[in-house]
Chains A and B, each alone.
Chain A
Amino acid sequence: MTNSETMQAEAAEAEAKRQTDKPPDPYAEVRRNATGGKPREASAISLRGVQKHFPGGVVALEHIDLEIEAGEFFTLLGPSGCGKTTLLRILAGLEDATGGAVAVGGQDILRTPAHRRSVNTVFQSYALFPHLNVRDNIGFGLRMRGVDRDECQRRVDETAKFIKISDLIDRDVAQLSGGQKQRVALARALINEPDLLLLDEPLSALDAGLRSQLQVELSQTQQRLGMTFVFVTHDQQEAMVMSDRIAVMNDGRIQQVGPPEDIYERPANLFVARFMGHTNLFPVERTGDGSLDTPLGSLTGCGDCIGSHVLIRPETIELLPPEEAGDNRFRARILDRLYRGAFAEYQLECGDTRIAAIVSNRGQRQYDPGEHVALTVDSSGLVFLDE
């Protein structure tokens, strides 16, 4: 993994610099602590056939096989009730699996109780201790493991600086805003240098602006530390912005695993496509001459494709003047245009079918509602999928 190679190179570089007594990187110390001097491979996670059946016949997890690489920002994405939070809680040790195996760094951890796992969690509601101030909240994990007060104090200060909350350190938890609580919860987990950090929708309670700011901060923090993060969210935009890889889940099963581009551009099935926000999904039928029958018309140039549906991503559509006829061009009427600054979003009607198109505003002609166009589909950008 290139990420881990970079991290190793950086660590070696930091080590070399430290020997000359001039630490050039303010985070070198934190980063060294964060890995606990262990090789990166120690935090790779492997799930084999993990199951969770609740009493009463409710199946939360069907059969989960998953490999999460060390130092990866991995996201579990899915609608509520898909089992993503249950899976996270199994990793944390807060829930028992009813079957399967979970290994961190090759060591099976399913029998290890939560308080002995090198795994920490940032909870959705933050779960900061109301009877402790910020400093004691952050230092809680170290205290429980018997780290002495001076060392604890030093590392709390260091972590607070790293997360940029040094000025909040003596406050009461009740005085913090949502974003500040989120940072304190993150610091409280990171300071323990876990093999694995779990984040359960940590940004869902924040307003949009702060949310996108913290998305960037979180993924930068993860890259600097090279720690393995497993992030749970139901927001596909958030997942795409932050993750190295995403697992899309539904009904207790994993639907697709891959980098954000794969998930978005080549969804494995209709569920993933719909969940990623795609609306241009049309049933296809094969005809005798090798072309495909769709509600738009006949598509050519994709004879060897299999699947009951076709996905036409809105950004692969080109809008041309109506007189330019040709293959894979369909006459359509503009219903609506939304100006989005860098691009325009069109709603079109083609026969009885509605279709969305996204067109860059750079040097492209704008069409008004009511106008007719030739909707042009690029056959190489089509995705064929099944239920």
Chain B
Amino acid sequence: MKRANFRRGLRAWWYIVLFFLYAPLAIVVLFSFNSTRTYSTFQGFSLEWYFKLFANETIVSAIYNSLTLAIVSSILATVLGAVLGYGMFRYRHLKLGWLIWFIYLPLVMPDIVYGISQMTFFVQIHEATGLLKPGLLTMIIAHISFQIPFVALLVYSRLLQLDPLLFEATQDLYATPWQRAWYFIIPTLQAALISAFFLSFTLSIDDFVISFFTAGPESTTLPIFIWSAIKKGITPEINAISTLMIGAVFTAAAISYAIQRARLASNPSRK
């Protein structure tokens, strides 16, 4: 009977955790559909705030900036990170431990330090050369730099799971290095690349700190907009924007997870 109590306790704990994780999100989503401005009570369902949102040019441009930033940086980070991950795999016999450690460092670096240093870096370059004016381009570069380690890590761990003889088999079967990349490495990494893309997307779309320091006046993204709007108090529009972002990130994360799972299911025997 003790066992049953223990299990009941675990279950209760699980619900408490879920409650604290998701109740705040649920409230934001709920009040984004509220028909009045009040926060105390839910007065009735309405899409009013969503219409207002899309009528506001600043917000529409922030959505556009956020999506452009997320999509462009994720695509580039996926390509560059995959090349990096492949390089780490291809030259793993060189024992590049410390180099790989450098690649992973941005994963644990505090965002605020990273953001400030990126800003300083871009400002210096801009003053010296006139290039890299703070704006969408500097944000894209900054985002790519923190997305790359995640992509490289995913690609590298996928490659490590493969039988190394497969690479030799492609050579043995007349594949040139380019053919090997196109007909073997890319198709084999397909699932890892897609999930790396969506992971990068979610990282980019909800990033505030690094974006804040590298943005220019024209390149306000949704998180930056929310931060400046919130000084005037939380409005139902903010709830509506937040709900849209939750939706976008959930979708991307779900696709990434589903692809990882499908790969595992189709390949159960891999160690």
Contacts and interface: CB of A to CB of B under 8 A. Distances in A.
B158 to A, nearest CB: 12
A130 interface: yes
Contact of B165 (A127, A141, A174): A127
B169 A121 contact: yes
A227 to B, nearest CB: 16
A92 interface: yes
B166 interface: yes
A129 B166 contact: yes
A1 interface: no
Interface stretch (A112-120, A213-221, A267-275, A290-298): A112-120
Nearest to A118: B174
B269 A174 contact: yes
B188 A131 contact: yes
Interface in A105-155: 113-116, 119-121, 123-125, 127, 129-131, 140-141, 143-145
Contacts of B174: 115-116, 141, 144-145, 192
Contacts of B184: 129, 131
Contact of B171 (A94, A174, A188, A192): A94
Greatest chain A CB density within 10 A among B169, B171, B176, B184 is at B169
Contacts of B179: 144
Contacts of A116: 174
Contacts of A121: 168-169, 172
Contacts of B269: 174
Chain B interface helix/strand/loop/mixed: helix
B165 A130 contact: no
A127 B188 contact: no
Contacts of B266: 174
B175 A129 contact: no
Interface string A171-213: 0001000000000000011001000000000000000000000
B270 to A, nearest CB: 8
Nearest to B179: A144
Contact of B183 (A115, A127, A144, A145): A144
Question: Which of A125, A129, A189, A192 has the most chain B CB atoms closer than 10 A to its own CB?
Answer: A129
Interface in B207-256: none
Interface string B110-146: 0000000000000000000000000000000000000
B168 A127 contact: yes
A127 B165 CA distance: 6
B267 interface: yes
A100 B251 CA distance: 60
A120 B172 contact: yes
A93 interface: yes
The winner among A94, A116, A189 for most chain B CB atoms within 10 A is: A94
A116 B170 CA distance: 12
Interface of B: 163, 165-166, 168-176, 179, 183-184, 187-188, 190, 266-269
Interface of A: 92-94, 113-116, 119-121, 123-125, 127, 129-131, 140-141, 143-145, 174, 188-189, 192
Given A93-B172, A127-B169, 14 more contacts: A114-B172, A115-B176, A116-B174, A124-B165, A125-B165, A127-B168, A129-B166, A130-B188, A141-B174, A144-B174, A144-B175, A174-B267, A174-B269, A188-B173
